[in-house]
Amino acid sequence: MAEPTMSGSETSPGSAAATTAAQAAGAHSIGVEQVSKEYPGGSVALREVSLQVEPGTFVVLLGPSGSGKTTLLRCLAGIERVTTGTITIGHRTVASDRVHVPPDQRNLSMVFQDYALWPHLRVRENVAFALRRSKLPKPDAQARTRAMLERVGLGRLADRYPNELSGGEQQRVALARALVAGTGLILCDEPLSNLDADLRERMRVEISSLVRESGATAVYITHDQAEAFALADQIGLLQNGRLVQFGKPEEIYSQPATPFVARFTGLSGELAVRVGAQHAAEADKTVEIGMDGSALLRPCRAGTSVSWTSGGDGILLVRPTGVQLAGTNDGDHHLAGTVADVAYRGRGYEHAIDISGHGRLTGIFAPFRVERGEAVGLRLDPAGCHVFPAVAAQDSAVAAAPGQAAAVPLSAVGPE
């Protein structure tokens, strides 16, 4: 089949183009205030979730299975009732202890993981179904349906039934149906997870451009961090029914609020560290970090707004971007290790390094190949290293209280 053409230009919220498109689409803001959801039977799926979304923003809710993503989406859609809390879409309160606006009156559309197409309707009828409530004259509705099918590359398949389409094609029909009515809010529940990896990547780009071109606000859920980072203007991390962090992808990556967030968004590995004595001269801004009982990690300095008692146990969470291969001479490196594995990745090589007695760091990229068994040094880059008190690392289900479990930004890691 013909590949759909992508002429849409990518815009970010706040840009003039995005604002214009958002206004044209009548994009909705979303307000979620202290929403909790307890299912009959006592299972608590959402715990006091609050977030604010500007019109035209592409929000991705990311979290492991069972963290409450689908429940939050279904509460936004009106398929589930909130137990407590308030949801506003645009200026309208759609859910509270007194209000429950049904899904078809919320001016939103949904894309489901299993496509949810009508099996007895042809492709064009499935898409046109979304226009049944609009006051468009029939020829206009037909023209709009045709244009949308062309837009998603399904023009030639308009007369087929869903069971005559591949999974990717069915998902495109679902996407066309969600977009055709021009609703101000599009909700997507893991729409790519049933597709093959190659198709998933292409569909992701299509969803991104089509949804942004529509100007609608989008809430998209996934358990795949790479997908989340690729799509999102804003990412919300859900853990055990709580929203543990909400921010731009760059913020989530560079300033994870809790060890859970850091772990779920990609780590090279973790090292137990001992936080050394604070430097007297800069008592409240630096801590010294060294690995307990060993000289493997040379003491290095960390700028911090958190004051710890010296000698506390900590955990160093290392992003793949926070560690580089270095020479083995003294002074060149912070850590010494041995190559456990090396994998060719096209752009270069990814290494797994064993740090004897302290575990393994993986995904360490280099443009050159270092063979298994070779000794290497590792340099840490403060921007990709996050130190948390060990106690916070254990109980990561609890969001960090300010000044408690917050990551310590390493400002100047270096051999002393």
Q: Applying CB under 6 A, which residues contact ligand ADP?
A: 39, 41, 43, 45, 63, 65-71
Q: Please report whether residue 70 would count as binding Mg ion according to CB under 5 A.
A: yes
Neighbouring C-alpha atoms within 13 Å toward the C-beta of 122: 12
Hey, which residues does 218 pair with through a beta bridge?
58, 186
188 CB-near residues (< 8 Å, 6+ apart): 110, 111, 178, 207, 218, 219, 220, 221
Name the residue nearer to Mg ion (CB basis): 112 or 161. Answer: 112
What's the token pair of residue 74?
Answer: 């279904």
Name the residue nearer to ligand ADP (CB basis): 27 or 87. Answer: 87
For residue 222, the minimal CB distance to Mg ion (Å) is 9
Name the residue nearer to Mg ion (CB basis): 70 or 107. Answer: 70
Neighbouring C-alpha atoms within 13 Å toward the C-beta of 303: 5
Q: Pick from Mg ion, ligand ADP, none: which does 290 bind, CB < 5 to 8 A by kind?
A: none
For residue 59, the minimal CB distance to ligand ADP (Å) is 15
For residue 76, the minimal CB distance to ligand ADP (Å) is 12
Name the residue nearer to ligand ADP (CB basis): 43 or 52. Answer: 43
The stretch near Mg ion (CB under 5 A) out of 32-40, 63-71, 323-331, 354-362 is 63-71
Please identify which residue in the block is written with the tokens 């630096």: 286
Please report which helix (H) or strand (E) contains residue 302, including its range.
Answer: strand 300-303
Q: Pick from ligand ADP, Mg ion, none: which does 66 bind, CB < 5 to 8 A by kind?
A: ligand ADP
Residue-by-residue DSSP string for 74-107: HHHHTSS--SEEEEEETTEEEESSS-B--GGGS-
For residue 175, the minimal CB distance to ligand ADP (Å) is 20
C-alpha closest to that of 118 among 166, 79, 162, 167: 162
For residue 43, the minimal CB distance to ligand ADP (Å) is 4
Name the residue nearer to Mg ion (CB basis): 70 or 286. Answer: 70
The stretch near Mg ion (CB under 5 A) out of 7-15, 65-73, 195-203, 260-268 is 65-73
For residue 339, the minimal CB distance to ligand ADP (Å) is 37
CA distance 141 to 132: 9
C-alpha closest to that of 183 among 89, 280, 284: 89
User: Within 10 Å of residue 79's Cβ, how many Cβ atoms?
Assistant: 14
Name the residue nearer to ligand ADP (CB basis): 71 or 258. Answer: 71
For residue 39, the minimal CB distance to ligand ADP (Å) is 3
Name the residue nearer to Mg ion (CB basis): 190 or 213. Answer: 190
Q: Pick from Mg ion, ligand ADP, none: which does 67 bind, CB < 5 to 8 A by kind?
A: ligand ADP
Cα 68 from chain centroid (whole Å): 14
**Strands in 67-150 per DSSP E:** 84-89, 92-95, 108-111
The residues binding Mg ion (CB under 5 A) are 70
